[in-house]
Amino acid sequence: MLNRKAYLIFKPIRIIVMTLLLTVWNLSCSSDNAISEIQKEGRLLVLMRNTPTIYYEGPEGPKGFEYDLVKAFAKHLNVNLKVKIYDSLADLLDAIQQGEGDFASGAITKTEDREDVYSFGPDYYTVQQLVVYRRGTKAPKNIEDLTEFEIQIIAESSYEERLSALKEDYPDLNWTVTDEYSTEQLLQQVWRGELDCTVADQNIVAVNRRYFPGLEVAFPISEEHSLAWVINPQKASLGDELEEWLDSFEEKGGLAALRDKYYSYTELYDYVDLREFHKRINWRLPQYRSWFQEAAGKFNFSWTLLAALAYQESHWSPRAKSPTGVRGIMMLTRQTAQSVGVQNRLDPYQSIMGGAEYLARMVERVPDSVYQRDRIKFALAAYNVGMGHMEDARILAEKLGYDPNSWNELKEVLPLLTQKKYYSRLKHGYARGTEPVRYVGRIRNYQNILEAKFAGAGQPD
């Protein structure tokens, strides 16, 4: 045993060691408490903004890339997801710092300045800042040119940080900031010609230029940066849980599926096509919308999906026809029309009902092993190219080491059906495999625009 003198000598060391052990124990407990408290309450409270890339109310309920992502995390925790909406990025960041939610999700760019202030979770998307102007007007060619343009951006944003850094080299560069409008609203003002330029992340531009055809990208003003969640400073352990879950979610293909769902079709931007689509939404779609809704209810589809399919097929023209013999608003072959009881393919009501029934049959024929999230895409591709070629593509995918049950992977294989070394060994032979890939992409693009249009999110006035 230690004598009293030795005890007194080692006492301060014992106190330091005990304090360190207690600190570690407390940190461990607090690390467990963040998750256990959420699970005990049975809900995950996420602070978000109401924009097409983050969260919006679609015809069938809440949607958005970031919403779906955090909903998947809530499912992982086996709790309900509750969303609280904030009007501006500044309000959102202030609210999470005040502990008003578990974490914030709002297309928040992780910058060096922000990392000094906020507790970030894992990165989930990469973006670049772009200068945007209106088609048909003078385009800024470089940063020096921007000194001659009226620029407005949202307040307390990463765009403001970047422009401030550029101003050191370009002292004549000026801009105004606003906390009254969102980035999407500023893009709309540029589209209307009310504002010369704004700055926005590339994913926001890609989504919104489909709602506002005529937005053009001048040039990027930044390198690529990561988007990440901001964690409640009192619940730091959430960051570790999010990172571990996101790694697993990505490995299982969930993140790629969401990127495909919300962003893949933005690559199909066609100014002329989208300009005409928006016009026809206003003057042609109203004639048929109630019939799309009726067919959707009967066959358990979204009416926007059926409307998008019909637009891809015929541009909502009931008398459309092709050299191959398909006719009507849903462009049915004579054989298909007979199989679903359509007597007159040029009758838009009959055609819509027949097309919806045929698509429902395609869905039923999709193999059970195909992932639930991809069944509609498989069915749409089959609507275009035929189920036989889809089955050939699945067989080829398996031979080449792709997952035949994933649309993201099958769409890489379908174009190979044009190559003799592949199609010559398949039952149904040659197919224009690139066509169904673009077909599905365009339909999803039109559907997304319709959903935003009729949800009141991001559409032109």
Total Cβ atoms within 10 A of residue 152 = 18
- CA 328, 329, 332: angle at the middle one, nearest 5? 50
What are the tens digits of pLDDT across the range 110-146?
Answer: 988 899 999 999 999 999 999 999 999 999 999 999 9
Total Cβ atoms within 10 A of residue 155 = 15
Model confidence band, residue 22 (pLDDT cutoffs 50, 70, 90): very low
105 & 164 share domain: no
147 & 197 share domain: yes
Q: Does residue 245 sit within a domain?
A: yes
Q: Which two tokens stand for residue 66?
A: 């970031």
Instruction: Tell me how far apart the alpha carbons of residues 418 and 420 are, in angstroms, rounded to a whole number.
Output: 7
Lowest mean pLDDT among 178-182, 346-350, 391-395: 178-182
Range of the domain at 302: 271-455
Q: Which strands form 43-49's sheet, in the order they lie side by side?
A: 80-86, 43-49, 103-105, 225-231, 119-127
238 & 374 share domain: no
DSSP 6-29: HHHHHHHHHHHHHHHHHHHHHHHH
β-sheet bridge partners, residue 292: none
17 & 120 share domain: yes
pLDDT score at 459: 38
Q: Which two tokens stand for residue 416?
A: 């190979």
179 & 206 share domain: yes
Q: Which two tokens stand for residue 399?
A: 């031979």
Assign residue 136 the CATH number of its domain. Answer: 3.40.190.10
Contact 386, 437 (CB under 8 A): no
Instruction: Tell me how far apart the alpha carbons of residues 214 and 443 are, in angstroms, rounded to a whole number.
Output: 21
| Residue 15 pLDDT greater than 90, yes or no | no
Total Cβ atoms within 10 A of residue 346 = 14
Model confidence band, residue 60 (pLDDT cutoffs 50, 70, 90): low
Q: Per the structure, how many domains does the chain have?
A: 3
Specify whether 313 is catalytic: yes
DSSP E strand boundaries for 27-87:
43-49, 56-58, 61-63, 80-86
Q: What is the DSSP letter of 148?
A: G
Which pTM does this prediction carry?
0.70
Assign residue 382 the CATH number of its domain. Answer: 1.10.530.10
Q: Does residue 461 sit within a domain?
A: no
238 & 319 share domain: no
Q: What is the DSSP letter of 267?
A: G
Q: Does residue 380 sit within a domain?
A: yes
Q: Does residue 460 sit within a domain?
A: no
pLDDT score at 198: 97
pLDDT score at 112: 86
Q: Does residue 301 sit within a domain?
A: yes
- Better-scored residue on pLDDT, 146 or 3: 146
Q: Does residue 241 sit within a domain?
A: yes
278 & 374 share domain: yes
Give the chain's mean pLDDT.
Answer: 88
pLDDT score at 346: 94
CA 241 to chain centre: 23
What are the tens digits of pLDDT across the range 83-118?
Answer: 999 988 889 999 999 999 999 999 999 988 899 999
pLDDT score at 270: 80
What are the tens digits of pLDDT across the range 282-296?
Answer: 999 999 999 999 999
355 & 440 share domain: yes
409 & 322 share domain: yes
Instruction: Tell me how far apart the alpha carbons of residues 407 and 404 are, in angstroms, rounded to a whole number.
Output: 8
313 & 429 share domain: yes
Instruction: Tell me how far apart the alpha carbons of residues 382 and 99 are, in angstroms, rounded to a whole number.
Output: 49
Catalytic choice (66, 313, 357, 451): 313
Q: What is the DSSP letter of 140?
A: P
Question: What is the average per-residue pLDDT within 154-170?
Answer: 92
Q: Which two tokens stand for residue 268?
A: 């199909």
Q: Does residue 53 sit within a domain?
A: yes
Q: Does residue 418 sit within a domain?
A: yes
238 & 310 share domain: no
What are the tens digits of pLDDT across the range 205-232?
Answer: 988 888 898 999 999 999 999 999 999 9
pLDDT score at 457: 39
Q: What are phi and psi of 116, to 5 degrees?
A: -75, -15
258 & 279 share domain: no
For residue 29, give every residue at least 6 positions away whose Cβ sits within 8 Å of its Cβ, in sequence order, or none: none
pLDDT score at 59: 60
